[in-house]
Amino acid sequence: MRKLIVGSRRSQLALTQSQQFIDRLKEVDPTLDIEIKEIVTKGDQIVDRQLSKVGGKGLFVKEIQNELFSRDIDMAIHSLKDVPSELPEGL
């Protein structure tokens, strides 16, 4: 069976939420081989300015979406509050 790669932000909250999701998937199918790929986003890198003045929504998702588009990950886990209301074509 092929390994599933789940993209997640590197924050402790994001990793905890991702692991909870994976745990639920494994309850359905314990044979799944799933790995979390930690991804640093632009929002994670900006520590000296208010995020709302840099671009607001989407700062925590673009790099993860790019990993999906390039097929480096199979699925992404986001906090809905970070996701823009309009998704890019293909998602």
Residues noted as catalytic? 82
CA–CA dist 70, 41 (Å, integer):
16
Q: CB of 41 within 8 A of CB of 67?
A: no
Rounded to the nearest 5 percent, the helix, strand and coil shares of the chain are 40, 15, 45
Q: Measuring CA to CA, which residue among 64, 85, 83 is closest to residue 75?
A: 64
